[in-house]
């Protein structure tokens, strides 16, 4: 049967604060596994791998921690508040564990990798600590923990991609799915823990990616998102005699050719690596969505250098210009932006606002800087911007983005959009919702349409977050 995760927080909350939990799986005589996942899409994708590994070890997922024999928290370490949320959750689970002494609790993912065995000392109720590259070892670690021993595996790998594991679609709505195409990150952004928690970059065999995409389409899925910390640096060299090399533009075309009705998205791109070849691949294939997430982090060149982003303001703006030149003004572009990074002046903050005015992003993920222990910034720079100033700057960035989001949506009113239906609208059972080519949420009356259908929707009104309209018979304009 299909399994899905229930989204507990609003979709527009900060990515690291999003939480998903496993739903009930029919099981007879199996132990019960409860997975709670925090953070980014990569974490949710990893939970699908974990569920697959644990199914092979005789576990079935449950939606209730009360029924669980084993609880996994798949954690995020990108910001301090994400880790604090996990610690608070562990305190809640400790009360449950006292009532069920045989129950095991494991902490997986980036927080586990960052703290390693120290986590066992700090959180006494934790039995298992496992990093992102050690999920195959979970059955052995559980056996070890069942004897009363604490079990740890936080070894990082230069080879592990989990390419041969068929994920259980824990985040599934039956329509959209993630496909992990690579793991790790070679970029050493000074603020970021990812290279230390997920290891070095390694790309997955492209043929296994295409095979997974084809299987998903045959199962009824109509959209895949290719995931990597930096998909544009995807590079796979075939181990056979011909030694053929595949880059991301090539992979994008291979997945697009699985079927014209399989939409293809990808995340995340890095400004230093995204190429014209990738943009032309997007233009060539109608089913590759016209949307790019291109984190800027700052609009000031000095701050970008301190962040070790390896590009400056002019480089980033040139990449935006290439996107507009090749894919047009309607291409959806989103961003990540950090306010109050070390030594950021008011004038440099204004550079971020002016960059936003130049690009006019469709939406973004915006954060006040949060120093992470062990990062180059924590070791070499001083977190010297007072929190109230960080927060004020963040609110200014958010206000600009809300204005731009509304303006960008208003441009799309009066046009017909091809929408992939993902389910019922959150506000009304009589409406459906899905997304268009540019990753915009579109809401329209249900009529006789169902999840997984492509529907042509004439947009008649909008908010900053949503397009609203009704179905029409024929597509009258390209979007």
Q: Give per-residue pLDDT as tens, 298-354.
A: 999 999 999 999 999 999 999 999 999 999 999 999 999 999 999 999 999 999 999
Distance CA 105, CA 467 (A): 42
pLDDT (0 to 100) of residue 123: 92
Distance CA 337, CA 358 (A): 15
Which of 112-121, 172-181, 383-392 has the highest mean predicted lDDT (pLDDT)? 383-392
- Domain pair 174-288 / 290-411, same fold: yes
pLDDT (0 to 100) of residue 1: 31
Statement: residue 8 has pLDDT above 60 = no
**What is the CATH topology of the domain spanning 290-411?**
Transcription Regulator spoIIAA (3.30.750)
406-461: pLDDT as tens digits: 999 999 999 999 999 999 998 899 999 999 999 999 999 999 999 999 999 999 99
Q: What dihedral angle (degrees, nearest 10) is formed by the CA atoms of 221, 225, 406, 17?
A: 110
Statement: residue 12 has pLDDT above 50 = no
CATH 3.60.20.30 fits 5-153, yes or no: no
pLDDT (0 to 100) of residue 27: 60
Please check whether residue 400 is in contact with residue 356, taking contact to mean a CB–CB distance below 8 angstroms: yes
16 is in an annotated binding site: no
Q: Give the architecture-level CATH label for domain 174-288.
A: 2-Layer Sandwich (3.30)
What are the φ/ψ torsions at residue 178 (nearest 5 degrees)?
-95, 145
pLDDT (0 to 100) of residue 184: 93
Give Cβ neighbours of residue 237 (< 8 Å, ≥ 6 apart).
243, 244, 245, 246
Q: Which of 309, 311, 334, 331 is nearest to 322 (CA)?
A: 331
76 is in an annotated binding site: yes
52-66: pLDDT as tens digits: 999 899 999 988 899
> What CATH number does the domain located at 416-471 have?
2.40.50.140
Report the pLDDT averaged over residues 174-183.
Answer: 94
pLDDT (0 to 100) of residue 432: 98
Q: Is 82 exposed, middle or buried (0-12, 13-18, 19+ CB in 10 A)?
A: buried
Please check whether residue 178 is in contact with residue 45, taking contact to mean a CB–CB distance below 8 angstroms: yes
**Average confidence score pLDDT of the chain:** 91
What is the CB neighbour count within 10 angstroms for residue 392?
A: 15
Statement: residue 13 has pLDDT above 50 = no
Q: Quick one: tokens of 301?
A: 């060149």
Segments making up each domain of the chain, as ranges: 5-153, 174-288, 290-411, 416-471
40 is in an annotated binding site: yes
Report the pLDDT averaged over residues 14-26.
Answer: 59
Distance CA 19, CA 10 (A): 10
What is the CB neighbour count within 10 angstroms for residue 383?
A: 17
Give the Å distances, CA to CA, from 135 to 72, 160, 206, 445: 12, 10, 22, 43
Please check whether residue 75 is in contact with residue 35, taking contact to mean a CB–CB distance below 8 angstroms: no
Q: Determine the length of the chain.
A: 479
110 is in an annotated binding site: yes
Report the pLDDT averaged over residues 161-180.
Answer: 86
pLDDT (0 to 100) of residue 26: 59
101 pLDDT tier (thresholds 50, 70, 90): confident
Statement: residue 359 has pLDDT above 80 = yes
HSE of 18 in the Cβ direction (CA atoms, 13 Å)?
18
165 pLDDT tier (thresholds 50, 70, 90): confident
Q: What percent of the chain stands above pLDDT 90?
A: 79
342 is in an annotated binding site: no
Looking at the DSSP assignment, which residues form a beta bridge with residue 180? 227
């Amino acid at each position: 049967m299909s399994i899905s995760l229930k989204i507990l927080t609003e979709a527009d909350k900060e990515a690291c604060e999003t939480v998903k939990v496993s739903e009930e799986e029919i099981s007879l005589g199996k132990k019960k596994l409860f997975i709670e996942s925090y953070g980014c899409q990569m974490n949710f994708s990893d939970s699908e791998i974990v569920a697959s590994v644990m199914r092979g070890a005789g576990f079935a997922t449950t939606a209730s921690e009360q029924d669980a024999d084993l609880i996994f928290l798949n954690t995020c370490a990108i910001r301090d508040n994400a880790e604090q949320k996990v610690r608070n959750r562990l305190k809640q689970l400790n009360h449950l564990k006292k009532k069920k002494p045989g129950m095991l609790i494991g902490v997986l993912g980036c927080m586990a990798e960052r703290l390693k065995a120290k986590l066992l000392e700090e959180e006494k109720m934790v039995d298992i600590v496992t990093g992102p590259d050690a999920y195959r070892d979970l059955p052995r670690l559980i056996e070890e923990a069942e004897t009363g021993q604490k079990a740890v595996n936080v070894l990082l790998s230069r080879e592990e991609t989990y390419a041969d594991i068929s994920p259980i679609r824990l985040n599934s709505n039956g329509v959209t799915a993630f496909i992990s195409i690579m793991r790790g990150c070679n970029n050493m952004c000074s603020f970021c823990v990812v290279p230390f928690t997920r290891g070095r970059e390694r790309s997955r065999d492209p043929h296994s990616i295409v095979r997974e995409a084809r299987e998903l389409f045959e199962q009824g899925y109509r959209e895949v998102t290719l995931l990597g910390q930096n998909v544009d640096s995807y590079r796979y060299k075939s181990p056979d005699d011909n030694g053929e090399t595949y880059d991301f533009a090539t992979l994008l075309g291979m997945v697009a050719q699985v079927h014209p009705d399989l939409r293809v998205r990808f995340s995340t791109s890095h400004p230093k690596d995204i190429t014209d070849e990738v943009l032309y691949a997007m233009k060539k294939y109608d089913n590759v969505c016209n949307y790019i997430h291109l984190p800027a982090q700052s609009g000031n060149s000095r701050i970008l250098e301190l962040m070790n982003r390896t590009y400056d303001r002019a480089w980033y703006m040139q990449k935006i210009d290439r996107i507009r030149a090749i894919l047009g003004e309607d291409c959806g572009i989103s961003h990540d932006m950090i306010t109050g990074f070390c030594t950021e002046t008011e004038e440099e903050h204004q550079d971020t606002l002016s960059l936003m005015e130049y690009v006019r992003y469709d939406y973004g993920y915006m954060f006040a800087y949060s120093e992470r222990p062990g990062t180059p910034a924590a070791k070499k720079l001083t977190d010297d911007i007072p929190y109230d100033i960080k927060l004020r700057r963040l609110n200014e960035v958010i206000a600009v983005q809300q204005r731009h989001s509304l303006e960008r949506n208003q441009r799309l009113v009066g046009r017909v959009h091809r929408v992939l239906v993902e389910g019922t609208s959150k506000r009304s059972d009589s409406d459906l919702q899905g997304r268009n080519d540019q990753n915009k949420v579109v809401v329209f009356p249900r009529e006789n349409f169902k999840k997984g259908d492509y529907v042509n929707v004439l947009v008649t009104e909008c908010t900053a977050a949503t397009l609203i309209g009704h179905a029409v018979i024929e597509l009258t304009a390209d979007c």
